[in-house]
Amino acid sequence: MNQYDVIVVGAGNAALAAAVSAKENGAERVVVIEKAPREMRGGNTHWSGGVLRFAFDDPREIGELLPDVEDEFENFYDGVSPYSKEDFHGDLMRVTSGRTDPVLSKLLVHNSFETVKWMKSVGGIKMEPAITLSAVKKDNVMVWARGLVVRAEHEGVGLSRSWFATAERLGIEIRYGTAATELLIGDDGRVNGVKVRDDDGMSVLNARSVVLGCGGFEANVQMRTQHIGPLVGAAKVRGTPHNQGDGLRMAMNVGAMPWGQWSGCHATPISADWGEFAPRELTDRSNRLSYVYGVMLNRKGRRFVDEGEDGALFTYAKFGRAILAEPGAKAWQIFDSRVVHLLEPRYQTSKPITANSLEELVEKVDFDNRDQALKTLDEYNAHAREMDDGFDPTKKDGLTSRGLAMEKTNWALKIAKPPFYAYSATGGITFTFGGLKVNETAQVIGTDWRPIKGLFCCGEMVGGLFYDNYPAGTGLVSGATFGRIAGRSAAAAN
């Protein structure tokens, strides 16, 4: 009963794409090994925004994914600009400083639209326009961001749910609460099974091929500290607590080659209201990125960055790390009632500390030095500007403070109108960039530069795509693209 055609380790978007693809391509007995129990299933996918970045030449082609979109939005297609393969690849190159793997990145870009169509047709993933997060309001009309038009209906939760429903419908066995602990390799050099641990103890599952799709090491404090450094070692985890680098270690134990930026990860300022792991029901809504409209104070009551240096998109990564370097790895973001409506909707997941005066606010917040905090706010207000001076939240408004030791160079509006709000912030890690070397069939390559027979990988475990940063919406499409390829290759290897 423990003999399968394909074993898939992990149960997020990439892993379930691999399982569905393996089944679609002729593997009969496919099993998904999910370490998490049923109520925590689905890996980081559950926590994701569900956004899908893909290349298309004619906006009307998107109609296949969003059949009823014109009923809802009249001039929908007029608003969307084409996003060519060159555009997509250019964006990947730009944000990774030209270091993205040339072969894998092209594979991703060229397959991206086909992958998303497959997610819908075979994967049963419902999709919707990504309007609330991708469209930006300008001159009273909405402008679509480049390449980000579609998301899974109900975001990562919906995406995960749909994948599980499809896997179950196709007769793919899903074993919850089952952790793969070791890859088994035969004398012929072929990976032929996994050792697993579940409530009943240890057992062995055999198969002709194994697909690893069980994520990076973002939830593993030892690996974070070792590979990324002590600052990110102290970060809170935004997603699943189960991505502990198990798959990476198991694969390297049978000779797989590490690849990509092992010192790199996606990390951002998030709420400090929770423990080491953000609660599952808050999904991706842990981010605290609207600091541009206020000030950030550390526990000593001092500012430590120019909050308005640039739009949050360009500062979040370094500010996330900056907060981690402050005492207690914690900061407070302070806003007044004139800007509180500008905060990202994700701020709803915290209850701010509120007060009718700055004195009262400072009393309520756990600053180590309250006098300094009040002094900092008073100093800031003495040099900050008025609404009428040209405050404009829709662009870099150039409204800079005048005369502070560390100026706030945009959106430097006084924090003047009660009530006042304080939101906690710390640094949170989303996922890691370090992975394994794979070839174009998603087969894992060994440190001897030979492919390892019977071993494939996908998702966060694919090394070499992302360095320093990644374009939003690429992670899921990469996951599904390499998952689909890995499943097909694994089925063919039988």
Partner 1 sequence: MNAVSSSKTSPEDVSAELTLLQNLAQRVHAFEKRQLTQLAIAQARACILDAIGVTLAGYPEPCTQILLKTPGVATALGLALIFGSARHTSVLDAALINGTASHALDFDDFSGVMGGHHSVPLVSTLFALAEERGGTGEDLIAAYVIGVEVEIRLARAVNFHHYDKGWHPTATLGIFGTAAAACHFMKLDRAQTAMALCIAASLASGLKANFGTMTKPLHIGQCCRNGLLAALLAEGGFDAATDAFEHQQGFLNVFNGPGTFDTAKLFENWGAPWEIEAKSIALKQFPCCGSTHPAIMMALQLRREDKVKAADISRIEVLPHGRRLRHTNTPHPQTPLDAKFSVQYVVARALRYGVLRLKDFEGEAHLDSEIQRLLEITTASPHPDMADDAEDQWGAEVIVTLKDGTRLARRVDNLVGRGGDNPMSSSEMWDKFNDCASRSLPREQIAPLFERLETFEKVTEIAQVVRLLEVSELHKAPAKKVVFAPRGAHEAEETTWVP
Crossing angle for the helix pair 474-492 and 13-24, nearest 10 degrees?
Answer: 30
Q: Which is nearer to partner 1, 79 or 451 (CB)?
A: 79
Crossing angle for the helix pair 85-95 and 102-121, nearest 10 degrees?
Answer: 120
By CB under 8 A, name the one of 301, 471, 479, 483 that touches partner 1: 471
Residue 467 engages partner 1 in binding (rule: CB under 8 A)? no
Residue 69 engages partner 1 in binding (rule: CB under 8 A)? no
Q: Which stretch, 27-35, 60-68, 229-237, 343-351, contacts partner 1 (CB under 8 A)?
A: 343-351
Residue 78 engages partner 1 in binding (rule: CB under 8 A)? yes
Q: Which is nearer to partner 1, 4 or 467 (CB)?
A: 467
Residues 108-167 that bind partner 1 (CB under 8 A): 131-136, 138-146, 148, 154-155, 157-158, 161, 165
Q: How far apart are CA 493 and CA 302, in angstroms?
A: 60
Q: How far apart are CA 391 and CA 261, in angstroms?
A: 39
Residue 177 engages partner 1 in binding (rule: CB under 8 A)? no
Q: Which stretch, 181-189, 276-284, 365-373, 397-405, contacts partner 1 (CB under 8 A)?
A: 276-284
Residue for token pair 């990564």:
317
Residue 39 engages partner 1 in binding (rule: CB under 8 A)? yes
By CB under 8 A, name the one of 8, 167, 442, 472 that touches partner 1: 472
CB 414 within 8 A of CB 220: no
By CB under 8 A, name the one of 92, 196, 234, 289 that touches partner 1: 289
> Strand ranges (DSSP E) for 153-200?
173-175, 179-185, 191-198
Nearest CA-CA partner of 11 in 211, 171, 191:
211
Helix (H) or strand (E) segment spanning residue 371: helix 370-383
Nearest CA-CA partner of 410 in 420, 402, 419, 400:
400
Residue 282 engages partner 1 in binding (rule: CB under 8 A)? yes
Binding residues with partner 1: total (CB under 8 A): 68
Residue 68 engages partner 1 in binding (rule: CB under 8 A)? no
CB 260 within 8 A of CB 99: no
Residue 253: exposure state from Cβ atoms within 10 A (0-12, 13-18, ≥19): exposed
Q: Where does this chain bind partner 1 (CB under 8 A)?
A: 37-39, 46, 48-49, 51, 59, 73, 75-76, 78-81, 83, 91, 131-136, 138-146, 148, 154-155, 157-158, 161, 165, 266, 268, 279-285, 287, 289, 311-313, 316, 340-341, 343, 345, 347-349, 352, 421, 430, 471-473, 475
